[in-house]
Amino acid sequence: MSKHGCDGQISIYDLDDSAMEMKRDLYVLVENSIYELPICVCDSIEELADITGDSVERIHDLITKAEKRGGKSKYVRVTINDEE
C-alpha cells in the first residue's frame, strides 16, 4: 500500500524529522566591503524595497543575477531552516 492517501497527499506521520524543517528566505542589504556585513534584514523583498527605496523588481533582478553569475550584489537572499 502506498504512503499517499486517496487524494495523493502524504500524511505528516509518513515524514521523518528532516522533512519537518521549514525553509524560508530572508532578504538582506549588505555593506559594500569584503565582509558584506548586514545593514538591513527583512522577511520579504517588498519589506526591503519599502525600507531601501529600491523597487521590488530591481532588488529581485540584482539578487538573481548575482546568484546566477556568482557575482556580488548589495542585496542577498539567505535561506534558513526553521525547525518546528
Q: For residue 71, how many C-alpha atoms fall within 13 Å in the half-sphere facing its CB?
A: 11
Q: Where in the sequence is the domain holding 61, given as residue range(s)?
A: 16-82
Query: pLDDT tens digits for 1-54?
Result: 444 444 455 554 555 555 567 899 999 999 999 999 999 999 999 999 999 999
Is residue 10 in some structural domain? no
pLDDT at 2: 42
Domain count, the chain: 1
Is residue 49 in some structural domain? yes
Model-wide pTM > 0.75: no
Is residue 33 in some structural domain? yes
Burial of residue 63 (number of CB atoms within 10 Å: 0-12, 13-18, 19+): buried
Is residue 7 in some structural domain? no
Query: Using CA atoms, how far apart are residues 15 and 68, in angstroms rounded to an integer?
Result: 32
Is residue 2 in some structural domain? no
Find all residues with CB under 8 Å of 1, minimum gap 6, and list them.
Answer: none
Find all residues with CB under 8 Å of 55, minimum gap 6, and list them.
Answer: 49
Is residue 54 in some structural domain? yes
